[in-house]
């Protein structure tokens, strides 16, 4: 990486750099950075390590290497940077854009002055057009994650449900083949969304429901993928009040919604040949005289009655209505909900992995492949009849939490599945499916469903490589990559 605008290095320049780093003992260890000066002493050059030859094709190695190099040059206040060539132009672009992220809009002295004004990629002559396209695609992927970071990092008084919806309208305005609909409480009432209304009742901030429809495949009316994102813009826990410690993180409890709308922006910008829908139920979970109380019962959009045994298990309540609406209206072949749902998932997998619940081996295979391509780690979690039995209520069809202090992430997933299956009209073989089938880990009936619990990855606690300390914006790139793969081969 060179701290200046320039074309590819000449052979003599390359020799000068190699001689310099060799004298310093630089062995090319993955992620390492060594700064040298050009032979005319006018340019700073960051030599980054990609590790052994066998590791050069690993995209994450490239992301980290470029991110570290960019950060090192920025620390020396360079005005422009040239990157490349790298084993993956897309990964290099992602590493550069993600590394330069900062959230300082509320600081009186922003850090933008330390960022380079331009970053260019120096491609190999033989594949210049292809690498330029890959670099641009990487920028779009990374910009999507950075927008999700912005949405999640913004404090709740500046990111109410109404403001979130407005931001989505502004960001997606003018993108080809995109329709954005924003609905209010009256519409939610007409749609029988008793869960969303119940959770929003304690807040003075009015609820919103965002629906994004992208038609990238005009030859078909089928919706290949639907994404539903949890949109709790601040979560106090309601009357099941959260402890004060770390409650500040609850400004990011709409992380599922943030990643979903950000992924839609990238999908539209890339004009992927696929039809995708996204929905986000938006509200706050607050305490007031009108707030939902423990033991209250509401009627969901699916017609199921639910006893609220914990008001801090509100995410699944709003998602249930949103899933039912999305599946019934759009009849997608696959539907994925994304939510910062349970502390149990943080205990199980920490901040690295996203927990994935799905009864469909085929959908799991696609998510796993997208995970490998985007280097967003996922781990498949189990579904079982036992989780359903733990959701029984003596006074309603369901309880919103399990009746034991165990398997919290699993019972949350089991709860959500009731609202997918109940709204499904047609299975792949033409049979009607209105109940949860017994075989919970080998079910290919439509719509194929997956639940992504991102409670762990929502926050980054390290600033290493391309990561940012604070709200992470993950797994936005995984969602974009999944749509990309489904656009090439339908599920």
pLDDT in tens, 154-168: 999 999 999 999 999
pLDDT class for 430, splitting at 50, 70, 90?
very low
- Looking at 72, 208, 230, 316, which residue is catalytic? 316
Q: What is the pTM of this model?
A: 0.93
242 is catalytic: yes
pLDDT of residue 434: 46
Interior CA angle at 150 toward 147 and 154, to 5°? 150
Q: What is the mean pLDDT of residues 130-141?
A: 96
Long-range contacts of the stretch 144-147 (C-beta < 8 A, 24+): 144/262, 144/263, 144/265, 144/266, 144/476, 144/477, 144/480, 145/98, 145/262, 145/473, 145/474, 145/476, 145/477, 146/97, 146/98, 146/101, 146/473, 147/171, 147/258, 147/262, 147/265, 147/473
Q: Which two tokens stand for residue 179?
A: 């329709």
Q: What is the mean pLDDT of residues 286-292?
A: 97
Please, are residues 467 and 375 in contact by the beta-carbon 8 Å criterion? no
Q: Which of 41-45, 281-285, 442-446 has the lowest mean pLDDT?
A: 41-45
**Residue 307 or 80, more confident:** 307
- Which strand (E) or helix (H) includes residue 233? strand 231-235
Q: What is the mean pLDDT of residues 91-108?
A: 93
pLDDT class for 52, splitting at 50, 70, 90?
confident
pLDDT class for 438, splitting at 50, 70, 90?
low
What share of residues in the chain are helix, strand, coil (percent, to 5)? 40, 20, 45
Average predicted confidence (pLDDT) for the chain: 91
How far is the C-alpha of 395 from the C-alpha of 119, rounded, in Å? Answer: 61
How far is the C-alpha of 346 from the C-alpha of 343, rounded, in Å? Answer: 5
Evaluate if residue 6 carries a pLDDT over 60.
no
- Looking at 43, 56, 215, 242, which residue is catalytic? 242
pLDDT of residue 57: 58
Please, are residues 137 and 477 in contact by the beta-carbon 8 Å criterion? no
| 297-299 β-sheet, strand order | 297-299, 305-307, 398-399
- Helices then strands, counting H and E runs in the chain, come out as 14, 18
Q: What is the mean pLDDT of residues 435-447?
A: 76
Q: Which of 57-66, 291-300, 353-362 has the lowest mean pLDDT?
A: 57-66
């Amino acid at each position: 990486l060179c701290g200046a605008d320039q074309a590819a290095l000449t052979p003599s320049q390359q020799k000068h750099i190699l001689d310099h780093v060799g004298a310093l003992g630089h062995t090319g260890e993955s992620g390492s950075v060594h700064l040298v000066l050009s032979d005319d002493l006018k340019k700073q050059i960051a030599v980054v390590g990609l590790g052994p030859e066998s590791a050069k094709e690993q995209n994450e190695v490239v992301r980290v290497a470029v991110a570290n190099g960019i950060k090192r040059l920025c620390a020396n206040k360079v005005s422009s940077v040239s990157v490349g060539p790298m084993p993956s132009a897309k990964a290099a672009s992602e590493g550069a854009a993600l590394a330069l992220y900062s959230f300082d809009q509320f600081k009186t002295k922003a850090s933008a002055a330390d960022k380079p004004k331009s970053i260019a990629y120096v491609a190999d002559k033989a594949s210049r057009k292809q690498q330029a396209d890959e670099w641009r695609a990487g920028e779009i992927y990374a910009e999507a994650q950075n927008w999700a970071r912005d949405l999640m990092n913004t404090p709740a008084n500046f990111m109410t449900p109404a403001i979130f919806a407005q931001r989505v309208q502004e960001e997606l305005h003018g993108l080809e083949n995109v329709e954005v609909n924003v609905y209010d409480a009256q519409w939610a009432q007409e749609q029988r969304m008793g869960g969303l209304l119940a959770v929003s009742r304690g807040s003075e901030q009015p609820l919103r429901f965002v629906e994004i429809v992208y038609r990238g495949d005009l030859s078909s009316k089928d919706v290949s993928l639907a994404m539903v994102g949890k949109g709790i813009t601040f979560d106090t826990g309601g009357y099941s009040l959260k402890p004060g410690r770390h409650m500040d993180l609850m400004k990011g409890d709409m992380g599922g919604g943030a990643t979903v709308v950000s992924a839609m922006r990238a999908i539209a910008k890339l004009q992927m040949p696929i039809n995708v829908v996204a929905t986000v139920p938006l509200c706050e979970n607050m305490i007031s005289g009108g707030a939902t109380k423990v033991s209250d019962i509401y009627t969901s959009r699916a017609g199921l009655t639910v006893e609220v045994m914990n008001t801090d298990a509100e995410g699944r309540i709003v998602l249930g209505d949103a899933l039912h609406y999305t599946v019934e209206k759009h009849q997608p072949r696959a539907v994925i909900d994304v939510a910062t749902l349970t502390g149990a998932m943080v205990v199980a997998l920490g901040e690295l992995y996203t927990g994935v619940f799905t009864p469909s081996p085929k959908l799991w295979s696609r998510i796993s492949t997208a995970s490998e391509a985007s280097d967003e780690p996922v781990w498949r979690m189990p579904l079982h009849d036992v989780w359903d039995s733990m959701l029984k209520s003596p006074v309603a069809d369901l309880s919103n939490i399990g009746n034991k202090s165990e398997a919290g992430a699993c019972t949350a997933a089991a709860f959500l599945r009731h609202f997918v299956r109940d709204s499904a009209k047609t299975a792949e073989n033409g049979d009607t499916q209105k109940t949860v089938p017994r075989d919970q880990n080998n079910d290919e009936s439509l719509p194929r469903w997956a639940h992504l619990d991102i409670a762990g990855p929502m926050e980054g606690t390290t600033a290493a490589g391309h990561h940012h300390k604070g709200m992470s914006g993950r797994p936005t790139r995984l969602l974009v990559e999944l749509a990309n793969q489904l656009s090439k081969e339908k599920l």
